């Protein structure tokens, strides 16, 4: 791994974090954590959480947001 690729990954991570903080990422870590809390409390099953996450990702563009993967790729 070269120094440049390491620095690029750090820059991308900062870009993703900045986008999350700005509310531009549909499937942010806070959304994912909320889904997992619902699973752990027994409110929904893991399969339901996965389906809901896919729906969130699918509707990201319509809602004017991007997914974490898209933010990483752009970063």
pLDDT tens for the chain, residues 1 to 75: 677 899 999 999 999 999 999 999 999 999 999 999 999 999 999 999 999 999 999 999 999 999 999 999 987
Domain residue ranges of the chain, discontinuous segments joined by + = 3-74
Q: Angle at Cα 41 formed by Cα 39 and Cα 43, nearest 5°? A: 65
Query: Does residue 15 sit in helix, strand or coil?
Result: helix
pLDDT of residue 1: 61
pLDDT of residue 2: 74
pLDDT of residue 4: 86
The pLDDT of residue 75: 74
Instruction: Please check whether residue 74 is in contact with residue 66, taking contact to mean a CB–CB distance below 8 angstroms.
Output: yes
Residue 48: what pLDDT? 98
- Look up residue 42 and give its DSSP letter: T
């Amino acid at each position: 791994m070269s120094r440049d690729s390491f620095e690029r990954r750090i820059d991308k991570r900062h870009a993703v974090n900045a986008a999350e903080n700005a509310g531009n990422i549909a499937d942010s870590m806070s959304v994912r954590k909320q889904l997992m809390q619902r699973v752990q409390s027994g409110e929904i099953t893991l399969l339901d959480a996965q389906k809901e996450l896919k729906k969130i990702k699918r509707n990201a563009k319509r809602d004017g947001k991007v997914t974490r993967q898209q933010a990483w790729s752009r970063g």
